[in-house]
Structure 1
Amino acid sequence: MSDLHKLTGAYAMDALDDLERARFEQHLAQCEDCRAEVAELRETAALLSETVATAPPAALRESVLAGITHIRPMAPEVPQPAPTPLADTTAGRGRGWMPFLVAAALALFVGIGAMVSQPWSDDDQVTQLTAAEEVLQAPDAEEVFLDLGEAGRATVVRSKSEDRAVISTEDMVSAPEGKAYELWFISGGEFTSAGLMPDAPDQTVVLEGSAAEAAAIGITVEPESGSEQPTTDPIAVFDLTEAA
């Protein structure tokens, strides 16, 4: 019967098999200390279970029982002639460790449950595309490439469904000092500014404004603050009417 004292933690966690549970419940009806300890452990488990509810790992019962065996002293097999206060204190101290042992085991199990029940995974993540990527990956993307010789190379991609266009450059020379490259939507002979290009040889820039109706896209050399209308002839014109 003395072995039954160390099953309070496992009983509180519903980790006993049918035979062990039946034997322990018979013991529990006669042991006030064990009833108090079971009540305390169930209260601790209830508080922890409010954080997450996950089935305990299969090995949890064995690890808890093994820890109980090492930490809690067994009740004496042979009646002592005169129990000393030291012996009572030791027994009480052993019993007092039980809530901490089971709480620690439950806390570990709660931590495992929290990891298992994360509401996200790599498969569920939604990739956030940049504005440029949305245009480049659009099903109706139209591409025009120009080799500007010593000035570099440039490619324009336009998506009518996205109503935007993107220009990508490679080894493009810088604009003259105090000047900047300005982008333009061209339609019916009219130029509409689409923003300034940063001074970098390799870049990808989303043009400013509506691109769906543009017949072409041009680049001119303008003052570094930009112009309302072109002040120079275009150094490059990307014809979108023949885009593939």
Structure 2
Amino acid sequence: MTEPDVHTLAGPYVLDALPEDERAHFEAHLAVCTFCTAEVAELRTAAVKLATQVSTPPPPSLKANVMAAIEDVRQLPPQVPVVSSTSKVQRFTRRSVLALAAAALAVAAAGGVAIDQYQDRTAAESANQQMAAVLAQPDARTVHGTVEGGGQATVVLSTKADKSVVVLRDLPKLPKDRTWQLWMMDPSNKATSIGLASGDITQVINGSTTGMATFGLTVEPDGGSRTPTLPAAALVPLA
């Protein structure tokens, strides 16, 4: 892992999304890097402020402001200035929208479920933006469930927007001829397929949210099935 890569772990560290070995590596780095230490403190402060107000409907302008500002945010390591005897240290920070996105993920990902944004920066930016859009909805809510055999499923959903974000983490590895299939189920247990996954994913689902009562995850033959194969690996009530 290169030093710039270490700098980009500040967000996942605050979200408790690092494996133990990478957590230990980053904490050792924190002991000598004042820039990452300051960024971690800022992200934690933003997360606490957001978490204490999650029950309060956001102002109508929140979504528009976040979506307008996030276009200017890139997932980059902090700029570490070269200090000479005649110069003062200037600290650069990605405080505003990135801090809010990280805080939103911290609220949505209680229990360590989050996006591995340091592995794919482009995908992480898109996922942060889309999750922020769902979380900005006044009726947004988050539910969690465990997966049979290991792993977690988290669903962030907004009935008003008819959108949801599904985060699957630490899923057991399946045989090559099997796949994970995602479902939304109405109160009568009628299931609608919302996609397939070969492993851990963060996926935004457009539609198939209104009127649904349960998120389901099943193991199916490669290519998926028309109806869920029971017993399901996970059933997560959406209420």
TM-score tier, shorter chain, comes to 0.3 to 0.5
Greater length-normalized contact order (CA 8 Å, ≥ 6 residues apart)? 2
Q: Which structure has the larger Rg?
A: 1
TM-score by length of 2: 0.43
Q: Which has the higher helix share?
A: 1
